[in-house]
Structures are given as C-alpha cells and as structure tokens.
C-alpha cells in the first residue's frame, strides 16, 4: 500500500504550516458529527433549485454553530458569514446541496427509503465537510483577519444554482472586505481516499446542450424514393459531427461532441416526418466553445441541405469552463501538502470533461476547485463506481481531509489579511 492508497497521517509538526498543523487532527475529532450530518442528508436527497427539506436541515445545522443562516429569495440556498477577530477581506467556501434523479443501489443502511433520488455526486459530503470546517474556523476566529463566506447552493446538477446565487448578490461584499479567494472541494472515487487532486488553469469543461430537429417528408417504408427520410439524414449528421471534431478542432485544445438521444418513427413500415437529436458538447476554452457551437450548426444545416431536408438547431448554453487561478492553486497545494504530505497531492495532467457551475464564481473571483479522493481501499480503481453511478460509495474517513482543507485555505488567505 502506497501513501496515496490510504488517508494520509498527520504531517510532521516540524514541517507543517502553523496555520494547518492541528487542523487534520481536529477535523478527525469532529468526524462523528460530520458523518452524522452527511448520513442525515444522504437519506433525504432532493433535486433542483427547490430543496426544502435539505435547506431546513442545513439551515438548522448552521444556526447550531451560532451563525445566522440567510436563505435564498428565489432558490433554496443558504449563506452564512464567519466574522474574524480583525478586519480584512472575504474568502468564500462553497458546498453544493442537491442530489440526482436516480435510485440508489449501494446497499448502505442510510440510503434513501424513497426511490428516485440519490446523492450520487457526493454533495451531502460537501455540506458536512464545509460545516465541519466552519467549526474549525470558529474555534480560530481570532486568527482570521477578515471574513469567511459560507456558500451552500442548490441546483448544481444542471440548474445553474451558483449563477442564480450570484444574481441574488452572493459576491456583493462590502468595499472594505472584497472577495479575494473562492474555494470548492469535490469528492471523487477517481483517486485514493484522503488524497487531493488539483491543477491550475482549466479544471473542468464547459457544457452546452445540442437539440436538432430534422424534418423530411413521411411516407411508406417500401417507397423511400417517394418520401424524404429524416432518419438517414439524422444518421449522417451524427457521423459528420464526429468527423468535424477530429478535422476542424485543434487536438491540443480539445472538444467532445456526443449525440446521446435519437427519437423518431412510430413503427417499422412508416418513414417519419421528423427526427429529434439531443446531445452535448464539452470544451476547455471559451474560444473552442464558440467554434464548436458554430461547427455543430454548420454541419447539421449542411448535411440537411445536401439531402433537401430542413433542420432546426438549438444550442442551449450551459456551464462555462471551470478555470482555476494559478495563485489559488499555489495556496491549495501549500495547504494540502501541510495536511497530508506531498505524496498524497496529485497533479492532474489534464482537465476532466465534466462541468461545474462553480465556474460562475471563478469568473468573478480568483479561486479554485480541487478533488478529494474518496475511493475505498478495498475497491479496484479500474472498476470503482464513479460519481453519478447509483452504486457509488465514498470512503467517509476522507471527509476529515476535506474538512481540514476547507479551513486551511481560509486560514491561509486571512492569516494576515490576504
């Protein structure tokens, strides 16, 4: 077993930062409460922007800390502020709260009783870690030269919850206390339990939705020459999009185009009038994002025109690229190394093509998102269920590392006013 295969031990006190040398031990002492909150949230997952039961549980937990939870006006969000012992800037720490629409099949004894929703992306762990970090920070309040803003958001899973919170004034800090840093942690079974994975620059991709309607002319399947078959046109569009990506997009600034839905026809002997295609495209730069949006439209319209069919193309803008600030990643690396040692800090060689709405926050404040490894030690990395699987299980002891990391980043930024 290597150092990255287990939760890292406490660092050598002679080399650890004075701001973080006790954080991991203190976080581990809080684990019974952190796990209890995580499991309570895990049993009542809710999807979207309106998550009343989750919001009530989390707001009560925030109030129990002696903080004043501020509920969102149009979304089920919660914001709370920890005021430091001295004036200074603001550091934002974020956790998302919503679940996913699938039925859990983990066999965990704290799984939801009602089928149809699940915390399959670990947002329950994010909330528990953030509130654990709040306890660590409250115990060190006098060391903070500034404020810590706790951002607890709904609707990360495709509902733009972060953007809506910003619209409600999330980042409108007082002039004397601007938001100088923002940090998020995302749990994952891609990495060994207790490790932290990070990279500067593009961390996660943009995510935009493709909807295409191909209109032909219906008819009898025995006489396709008397109809205008939209199915064959749609099939050609699907294949042409893949070729266009490999021939028109720079391989070193990549894009992924996936058509994941094809709907058309009612039976075996009728050529339908129309076919609907649905999918997504992902990029790691805004320039390629713009290029691919244009390319999808050109390919669909060109193929349809070649066959005399009509086509409607709708591209729905999703999340932007999640861009980690280089300076913020330096801080994250320093804190992570002080907590778990350099061997457990993983440098990601490339972005992940998933998407995150924390990207909206990072467009307006320097900051970063890191991944917290939580793959159980007895699970094969090659077959470990991943986030969004209804069988994913996260190793709960890893949450101590995430809790300490959240607090350590805030302490680092506010130890001397940023």
- Active-site residue numbers? 319, 396
State both tokens at 27: 């976080």
What are the structure tokens assigned to 229, written together? 């078959």
Q: Which residues does 87 contact at the CB level (< 8 Å), separation at least 6?
A: 145, 146, 176, 177, 417
Answer whether 24's CB lies under 8 Å from 408's CB. no
Are 22 and 354 in contact by the 8 Å Cβ rule? The answer is no
Which has the closest alpha carbon to 336: 394, 398, 404, 415? 404
Strand order in the sheet with 208-215: 255-264, 274-283, 208-215, 310-316
What the block records as the tokens of 51 is: 């998550």
234, containing H or E segment: helix 230-248
Find, among 358, 344, 407, 11, the residue nearest to 192 by Cα. Answer: 344
* Integer Cα distance of 27 and 132 in angstroms: 7
CB atoms within 10 A of CB 374: 28
Rg (CA), the chain: 24
- Distance, CA of 121 to CA of 366 (rounded, Å): 25
Going by the DSSP 8-state scheme, the letter that residue 395 receives in this structure is -
Closest CA to 204 of 215, 216, 180, 188: 188
Contacts of 148 (CB under 8 A, 6+ apart): 81, 82, 84, 90, 91, 92, 93, 134, 137, 410, 414
CA–CA separation, 183 and 196 (whole Å): 13
């Amino acid at each position: 077993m290597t150092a990255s295969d287990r939760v890292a031990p406490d660092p050598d006190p002679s080399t650890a930062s004075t701001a973080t040398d006790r954080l991991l031990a203190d976080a581990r002492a809080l684990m019974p409460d952190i796990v209890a909150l995580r499991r309570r949230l895990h049993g009542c997952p809710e999807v979207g922007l309106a998550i009343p039961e989750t919001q009530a549980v989390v707001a009560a937990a925030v109030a129990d800390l002696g903080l004043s939870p501020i509920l969102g006006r149009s979304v089920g969000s919660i914001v709370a502020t920890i005021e430091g012992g001295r004036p200074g800037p603001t550091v934002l720490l974020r956790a998302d709260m919503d679940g996913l629409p699938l039925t859990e099949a983990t066999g965990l004894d704290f799984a939801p009783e009602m089928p149809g929703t699940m915390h399959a992306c670990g947002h329950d762990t994010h909330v528990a870690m953030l509130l654990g970090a709040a306890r660590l920070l409250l115990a060190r309040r006098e060391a903070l030269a500034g404020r810590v803003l706790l951002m607890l958001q709904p609707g990360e899973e495709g509902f733009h919850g972060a953007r809506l919170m910003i619209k409600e004034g999330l980042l409108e800090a007082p002039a004397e206390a601007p938001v100088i840093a923002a940090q998020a942690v995302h749990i994952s079974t891609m990495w060994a339990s207790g490790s932290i994975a990070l990279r500067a620059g593009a961390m996660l991709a943009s995510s935009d939705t493709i909807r295409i309607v191909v209109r032909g002319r219906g008819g009898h399947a025995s006489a396709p020459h008397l109809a205008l078959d939209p199915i064959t046109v749609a099939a050609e569009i699907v294949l042409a999009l893949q070729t266009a990506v490999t021939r028109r997009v720079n391989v070193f600034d990549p894009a992924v185009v996936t058509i994941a839905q094809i709907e058309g026809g009612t039976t075996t002997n009728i050529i339908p009038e129309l076919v609907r295609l649905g999918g997504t495209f992902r990029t790691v730069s805004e320039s390629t994002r713009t290029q691919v949006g244009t390319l999808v439209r050109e390919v669909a319209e060109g193929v349809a025109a070649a066959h005399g069919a009509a086509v409607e193309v709708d591209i729905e803008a999703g999340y932007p690229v999640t861009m980690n600030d280089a300076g913020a990643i330096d801080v994250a690396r320093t804190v992570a190394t002080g907590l778990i040692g350099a061997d457990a800090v993983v440098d990601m060689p490339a972005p992940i093509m998933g998407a995150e709405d924390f990207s909206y926050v990072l467009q307006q404040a320097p900051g970063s998102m890191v991944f917290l490894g939580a793959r159980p030690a007895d699970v094969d990395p090659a077959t470990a269920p991943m986030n969004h699987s209804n069988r994913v299980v996260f190793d709960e002891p890893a949450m101590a590392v995430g809790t300490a990391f959240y607090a350590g980043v805030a302490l680092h930024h506010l130890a001397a006013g940023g």
